[in-house]
Amino acid sequence: MQGGNGKVNPFEIAKQQVDIVKEYLDVGEGVIEKLKHTKRDLIVHFPVKMDDGSIMMCTGYRIVHNDVRGPAKGGIRYHPDVDLNEVRALSMWMTWKAAVVNIPFGGAKGGVQCNPKEMSRTEIENLTRRFTWEIAPLIGPESDIPAPDVYTNPQVMAWIMDTYSILKGYSVPGVVTGKPLEMGGSVGRLEATGKGVFITAREAAKYRDLPMEGARVVIQGAGNVGGVAAQFFDKAGAKVIAISDSKGGIYNPKGLNLDSALACKRHYSCFLTDKLEAEEITNEELLELKCDILVPAALEGQITSKNAPNLKCKIVVEGANGPTTPEADNIIFERGIFLVPDILANAGGVTVSYFEWVQNLQELLWSEEEVASRLENILTRSFREVVEIAEKKKVNMRTAAYILGVGRVAKTQELRGIYP
């Protein structure tokens, strides 16, 4: 599963995950083979004007994996390590994610290879608008709908919507989700993924008879997923004992002062242990801490066959996409650790994105209570459906989620057929 540079190939992992469940699906081999390929890979190379007047060439991707159940849906990430196979895998996982929660979307994903931490706001705007222009012929509210992802946010979505609208000659709020509220965004969207991680973790804890009050939680990642999830765990009475960002993390076995930790992160762009009652810890050490609930909410490929035997948690809830390799999955299952897979655990984002898209198309606004209630109902129902499959088939939760998600897409593909 590794390329020549030693990096895990996420697209090969994504295809292997489909192969694992095909024996449980009553569909033809040709349908399964089609689902292991993306529908469209768009690669663009474009110039960006920098503040000093120089030109930086960037490479961007917009991949559509599958759209048989509805418009393709998926975020756009800005990161130095973005590459074609990563984006392909992420687009495939989006397909299964939408299907698991039974939302009429297909899967897509996008990204630009860049380092936004070293760019000014103006440079990021220039990059965003030029990238939007390059992919504009293929995106749209009825075809392919971007959203925020790693190092993108509502402001980036506002620039995408504005650029696309200028091209069309009228406002098209439905072209993206995760927009600012002032531009047709939905209440509850910003915290939706992190909140969904908490909801599925809470359901997993109930299933395993683990009280949430006092539960020790370790979170890798402190952004819109990890940081938001941490706040929901804290409000529910759990103790977040460790949290990290890309530079490293902090740990206090008695529980962190979460408000102070996140305020420190926002103010200094990192965690400073001299300002907090905590000790420094690496991301590698964090994953192996003794805890009740472990939430990998950073990047893919974090839990592998090397560190899976060393996990000291009772439940893993995948806030990130693809944080666990198939080899690690088997080890975790054999060790009796209950894992909530990414395509269920972090589906809160795509669920509320769907709510936002529906509101845009209908030109109406839902209340915060409506959004919260609908999200809760969809995720708790989906959790029950996956658990029932896991129990019936005697498989782990990821396999069960794939049986549900891939099965729904495969059945739709078979019903639609292949033209001509």
**pLDDT tens figures, 201-232:** 999 999 999 999 999 999 999 988 999 999 99
Q: What is the pTM of this model?
A: 0.92
Diameter of the chain by CA atoms? 66
Q: How confident is the model at residue 132 (pLDDT cuts 50, 70, 90)?
A: very high
What 3-state class would DSSP assign to 340? strand
In a domain, 300, yes or no: yes
Look at residue 351 and tell me whether its pLDDT is greater than 80: yes
- Residues 173-200 pLDDT 10s: 999 999 999 999 999 998 999 999 999 9
Rounded Cα distance between 400 and 346, Å, is 16
Residue 306 main-chain phi, psi, to 5 deg: -75, -45
From 123, 146, 173, give the residue that closes a domain. Answer: 173
Share of the chain above pLDDT 90, in %: 86
Is 384 contained in some domain? no
Residue 7 has pLDDT above 80, yes or no: no
- Residue tagged active-site, from 15, 97, 109, 195: 109
Q: Are residues 105 and 204 in the same domain?
A: no
Query: How far is it, in rounded angstroms, from Cα 73 to Cα 67?
Result: 9
Is 109 catalytic? The answer is yes
Closest CA to 210 of 317, 349, 303: 317
Which pLDDT band, with edges at 50, 70 and 90, does 6 fall under? Answer: low
pLDDT at 420 over 90: no
49: enclosing H helix or E strand: strand 40-49
> How many CB atoms neighbour CB 6 within 10 A?
6
In sign, the C-alpha dihedral spanning 276, 282, 284, 289 is: negative
Judge whether 197 and 272 are in contact, CB under 8 Å.
no
pLDDT of residue 271: 84
Per the model's pLDDT, the better-predicted residue between 419 and 54 turns out to be: 54
Number of structural domains (the chain) is 2
Residue pointed to by tokens 């290879």 = 113
Residue at 273 is within a domain: yes
pLDDT per position as a tens digit, 61-82: 999 999 999 999 999 999 999 9
Cα four-point dihedral sign 63, 66, 68, 69: negative
Q: Are residues 132 and 90 in the same domain?
A: yes
Assigned token pair, 35 = 């689902």
Whether residues 206 and 313 share a domain: the answer is yes
Q: Do 159 and 274 sit in the same domain of this protein? A: no
Within-domain flag for 56? yes
- Residue that terminates a domain, selected from 142, 173, 204: 173
d(CA 151, CA 346): 17
* CATH label of the domain that carries residue 57: 3.40.50.10860
Q: Is the pLDDT of residue 8 over 90?
A: no
CA 303 to chain centroid: 16
pLDDT (tens digit per residue) in 10-21: 899 899 989 989
When the pLDDT of each residue in the chain is averaged and rounded to a whole number, the result is 94
Predicted pLDDT of residue 253: 95
What type of residue is 146? P
Question: Does 167 lie in the same domain as 289?
Answer: no
Residue 204 counted as domain residue: yes
More confident residue, 101 or 7: 101
Mean pLDDT along residues 44-52: 98
pLDDT tens digits, 87-124: 999 999 999 999 999 999 999 999 999 999 999 999 99
Give the pLDDT of residue 300: 83
Give backbone dihedrals phi and psi of 178, rounded to 5 degrees, phi first: 80, 20
Q: Is 405 domain-assigned?
A: no
In a shared domain, residues 318 and 196: yes
Domain at 247, CATH number: 3.40.50.720
71: CB partners within 8 A, 6+ apart: 105, 106, 141, 142, 143, 144, 145
SS3 397: helix
Same domain flag for 196 and 335:
yes
Residue 321 to residue 418: CA distance in whole angstroms: 30
Query: How far apart are the C-alpha atoms of 230 and 223, rounded to whole Å?
Result: 10
**Is residue 221 domain-shared with residue 153, that is, in the same domain?**
no
Evaluate whether residue 372 is within a structural domain: no
Out of 322, 345, 368, a domain closes at 345
Write out the E strands in 51-190.
55-66, 72-79, 106-113, 144-148
Query: Does the pLDDT at position 251 exceed 50?
Result: yes
Mean pLDDT of 142-168: 96
Whether residue 256 sits in one domain with residue 129? no
- Domain hosting 138: range is 39-173
Distance between CA atoms of 131 and 48, rounded to whole angstroms? 9
Q: Are residues 161 and 213 in the same domain?
A: no
User: Mean pLDDT across the stretch 354-359?
Assistant: 96
In this prediction, residue 78 carries a pLDDT of 97
Q: Give the end-to-end CA distance of the chain in Å, rounded to a whole number.
A: 35
For residues 159 and 237, membership in a common domain is answered with no
| In a domain? residue 154 | yes
pLDDT at 4 over 70: no
205 in the same domain as 337 = yes
User: Over 80: is that where the pLDDT of 3 sits?
Assistant: no
% of the chain exceeding 70 in pLDDT:
98
- Per-residue pLDDT tens over the stretch 278-322: 999 999 999 999 999 999 998 888 999 999 999 999 999 999 988
